[in-house]
Amino acid sequence: MPTLLKSLHRLSTAPAFTAWVALALMLLLFATGAASYAGFASVQVMLNLLIDNAFLLVIAVGMSLVILSGGIDLSVGSVLALSTMVAAWLLQTAHWPPQAVMVAVLLMGALFGAAQGALIHFFKLQPFIVTLAGMFLARGLCYLISINSITIDEPMFVALSQTQLSVFGGFVSPGAVIAVLVLVAGVWLAHWTAFGRAVYAIGGNEQSALMMGLPVGRTKVLIYAFSGVCAALAGLLFSFYMLSGYGLHAQGTELDAIAAVVIGGTMLSGGYGYVAGALSGVLTLGLIQTLIAFDGSLSSWWTKIFIGGLLFVFCVVQRLLSRSTTAAAA
């Protein structure tokens, strides 16, 4: 019995504990829905989770690297909205070819993110303040383009919006496939490259990373550039999904992305977590929304209440784990 208790204690105080809890919570939500509602466990309902949250998964992958480095990016939702507006304006007013529009939007996201990373590192500014300014800037730029929604009727975007790819007896959208590929790329970057190792080192202790000779400045700029690219790509996926550009798109998405990353097991303090956890976090949020939709008697605002409660619990657990780890090291 003492051995079992020690094993349970080691498990509960391990940094990976929250990631396992997130996975268990996701399975519990799925089991609850399957037992309570007919058709909940169908393949297409599960695939719809990925279809409807593809843009959020892409943003969460970029946010994972930012949080792993000990930073935060509050601008991603506004960059997503700006990307939809720029894409819609270039397609409908400037009549650019869709391929050029996609490249331009991704470059815009990369430059926006890199500029924020440069300000954070070279001017020693807090990521919260810099990206908060970026959030207001990007959202304001949307309304310089248009205060109204811009409908997208470009044939390639419409085709991508309507395409259904058969898989596992159901179908997914091209956006869902792109989101999964971004997740795979994010996992590879974080866990199998020198860049990923530098991200973890900076999140663990930036001063130690500098003393080890790691390119801290370059890595920080690249981290925020990658987050900007992810936000811009999410904007393109959102454009496929909504076939419009609008300055009010994706309000609060940055907070959903942070919640998904934290629920997925990444430490807010940085230095520990798994990019793959973003998937379990996003699916957990999606399952909560689906359960509320299947119930039919609850307001959609209950989604925010449940997510807020979950995020609070996971933050408290992370704090307790960090204290336990510090005490064990001492």
Q: Can you give the residue ranges of every domain in the chain? A: 12-329
Question: Which of 2-11, 15-24, 180-189 ranks highest by mean pLDDT?
Answer: 180-189
3-state secondary structure of 36: helix
Report how far residue 174's alpha carbon sits from residue 89's, in angstroms, rounded to the nearest whole number.
22
- The rounded radius of gyration (Å) of the Cα atoms in the chain is 20
For residue 147, count other CB atoms closer than 10 A to its CB: 10
Confidence at residue 4, expressed as pLDDT on a 0 to 100 scale: 46
3-state secondary structure of 6: helix
**SS3 string of 60-118?**
HHHHHHHHHCCCCCCCHHHHHHHHHHHHHHHHHCCCCCHHHHHHHHHHHHHHHHHHHHH
Q: Would the pLDDT of 125 be above 50?
A: yes
Confidence at residue 184, expressed as pLDDT on a 0 to 100 scale: 97
Share of the chain above pLDDT 70, in %: 90
Report how far residue 76's alpha carbon sits from residue 235's, in angstroms, rounded to the nearest whole number.
10
For residue 140, count other CB atoms closer than 10 A to its CB: 12
Q: CB-hemisphere CA count at 13 Å for 322?
A: 16
- Give the lowest-confidence range in 75-84, 203-212, 229-238: 203-212
Q: Which two tokens stand for residue 306?
A: 């449940």
**If you average pLDDT over residues 50-64, what whole number do you get?**
96
Q: Would the pLDDT of 216 be above 90?
A: yes
Paired with 151 in beta bridges are 244
Query: For residue 235, what pLDDT band results from cuts at 50, 70 and 90?
Result: very high
Give the angle 228-197-321 at the CA atoms, nearest 5°: 90
Q: Would the pLDDT of 85 be above 70?
A: yes
Q: Would the pLDDT of 92 be above 70?
A: yes
**If you average pLDDT over residues 201-229, what whole number do you get?**
95
Confidence at residue 269, expressed as pLDDT on a 0 to 100 scale: 84
Q: Cα dihedral angle (304, 306, 312, 313), rounded to 10 degrees?
A: -160
Q: Which two tokens stand for residue 318?
A: 């992370």
Q: Would the pLDDT of 154 be above 80?
A: yes
Q: Would the pLDDT of 267 be above 70?
A: yes
Confidence at residue 168, expressed as pLDDT on a 0 to 100 scale: 85
- Tell me the H-state helices in the chain: 2-13, 17-36, 43-52, 54-68, 76-92, 98-122, 127-145, 155-162, 174-192, 194-204, 206-211, 216-242, 253-263, 277-295, 301-329
Nearest by Cα to 80 from 245, 198, 303, 215 = 245
pTM value? 0.92
Give, in words, the CATH class of 12-329.
mainly alpha
Q: Would the pLDDT of 198 be above 70?
A: yes
- Give the lowest-confidence range in 36-45, 102-111, 187-196: 36-45
Q: Would the pLDDT of 328 be above 90?
A: no
Q: Would the pLDDT of 219 be above 50?
A: yes
List, in order, residues 6 or more apart from 143 with CB less than 8 Å away.
247
Nearest by Cα to 236 from 278, 144, 281, 173 = 173
From residue 220, alpha-carbon distances to 119, 200, 225, 229, 281 in Å are: 10, 11, 8, 14, 24
Query: For residue 65, what pLDDT band results from cuts at 50, 70 and 90?
Result: very high
